[in-house]
A = this chain, B = another copy of it.
Amino acid sequence: MLQTLPQHLQIAKVLHSELEKVEVIFSRQLESELPFVNELTAHVERYRGKMLRPTLLLLTAMAVEGDPCDGSSISARHRTIATVLEMIHMATLVHDDVLDEADFRRRGATVSSLRGNEMAVMLGDYLISNAFHLCSTEGESSLNELIGSVTNMVCEGELLQLSNRDNFDLDTRTYYEILERKTAVLVGACCRLGAVISNAPDAVVDAADRFGCGLGVAFQIQDDLLDLMEDRDTVGKSTGRDLDTGKLTLPVLLYLKKASLEERAEMLRILESRENAAMRRVLVDSGAVAAAYARAEDLVSQAKEELAAFPDSSARHLLQALADAVVTRRS
């Protein structure tokens, strides 16, 4: 590993500089003639987190090229589409805040709590609209079509989740279907598009998509575990929200699957009365949390196997490290 370290430093530098360019495209696209709109979108910058989606697109593109991963393979189109995907992700965060009535996210007040639900709905719409507009400036409608079919599925996932609110009979198949549509398909599309724009062969494009999808599901399971386990100060956004909004998560499903009739009745009582601390205790003690965590780790392992489709390179190493980080992260 040691001899690859300078290579890793080089690629981190390229990535950092490319992500800065993505931020510039992001801000420029949202610029409005209306000063009020600019004030509002400036607030969105506070939502910016790890920029996981642009990172995945850019790293996948570099992994297609292979070493020396000096960034020469990154084109303007990569940056534009990376920005489009981040903008779509931001829109879902803004609209999720309407959904979850969350008061905090990323340690800051949400748009909806500051300005009301109505402003949050319209700001999210403005982000979605700008994302599609930015995408179309590439002049390649197959990109719009691919991204449009992905966002169709994201919405279906959100609708499916809402329709299963407080459904204590939710089966794991439906649970995974929600995760796949709501989160994984978009993460998969980041990797797919990184490969597509780099003209990778079909087998590599499909492997990239499967890598991203697996990562996305694991990411969402870990998100739910953090919501269950962590305190607000660590996670930097509202916790215990899944319980409050009647969203069933993997540890609960795994617990209910094995529970006796009495255990099930007690868990339903806890769920209905929204007792997060009691729920956490039962799920930890029964091993359901550990089982959910193991499932996320499995998904990450399977995802990493897909990377065999790429040549060995420092970009591929970074994708592996990023996959591991999905389940070890604490916020």
Contact = CB atoms under 8 A, between A and B. Distances in A.
Given A151-B129, A152-B129, A159 B121 contact: no
Contacts of A104: none
Contacts of A42: none
A121 B133 contact: no
Contact of A125 (B128, B138, B140, B160): B128
Contact of A151 (B34, B119, B133): B133
B148 A129 contact: yes
Given A137-B145, A148-B129, A149-B133, A160 B37 contact: yes
A93 interface: no
Contacts of A158: 122, 125
A126 B156 contact: yes
B129 A36 contact: no
Contacts of A37: 156, 159-160
Interface in A78-104: 95, 98-99
Contacts of A117: 98, 117
Q: In the complex, which range does the number of interface residues on chain A fall in?
A: 35 or more
A45 interface: no
Contact of A122 (B130, B132, B139, B155): B155
A40 to B, nearest CB: 6
A149 to B, nearest CB: 6
Contact of A152 (B133, B156, B159): B133
A119 B159 contact: yes
A154 B139 CA distance: 22
Contacts of A184: none
A126 B144 contact: no
A72 interface: no
Contacts of A116: 162
A152 B34 CA distance: 12
Interface in A100-146: 116-119, 121-126, 128-130, 132-142, 144-145
Contacts of A134: 148
A159 B30 CA distance: 13
A160 B38 CA distance: 11
Interface of A: 32-34, 36-37, 40, 95, 98-99, 116-119, 121-126, 128-130, 132-142, 144-145, 148-149, 151-152, 154-156, 158-160, 162-163
14 contacts: A98-B117, A119-B159, A121-B124, A122-B159, A122-B162, A125-B125, A126-B152, A129-B152, A129-B155, A133-B144, A134-B148, A135-B148, A136-B148, A140-B141
